[in-house]
């Protein structure tokens, strides 16, 4: 579990995502996207307190069906899933607190609580 550093070019199938159990965050973006690079410190700061949450960092773009299935339009987009069901979404996060709040919506408790 925990934070992934690089966007994966190998995306799971949507059925695999829907079947996931527990708390998962899908992060859609690309390594060359300025907004994505700018958001990385905020995402890392928020996830530091929630190491038990699964983080899947998926490269998105034309011809990438997983991002289309979640109707991703802007990067980065964070989709917060509990047992495969979307419970929150943040597009172009502006603060670590905003991300941490969505992580708590998942039912995740900060480490050490």
Residues annotated as catalytic (active site), given as ranges: 33, 36
Kindly report the three-state secondary structure assignment for every residue of 5-53: CCCECCCCCHHHHHCCCCEEEEEEECCCCHHHHHHHHHHHHHHHCCCCC
Residue 99, SS3 per DSSP:
helix
Closest CA to 24 of 108, 81, 86: 81
């Amino acid at each position: 579990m925990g934070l992934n550093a690089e966007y994966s070019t190998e995306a799971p199938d949507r059925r695999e995502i829907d079947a996931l159990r527990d708390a998962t965050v899908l992060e859609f973006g690309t390594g060359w996207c300025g907004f994505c690079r700018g958001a990385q410190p905020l995402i890392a700061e928020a996830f530091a307190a929630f190491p038990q949450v699964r983080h899947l960092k998926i490269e998105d773009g034309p011809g990438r069906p997983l991002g289309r299935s979640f109707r991703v339009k802007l990067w980065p987009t964070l989709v917060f899933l509990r047992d495969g069901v979307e419970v929150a979404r943040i597009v172009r996060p502006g603060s670590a607190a905003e991300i941490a709040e969505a992580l708590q919506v998942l039912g995740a408790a900060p480490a050490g609580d």
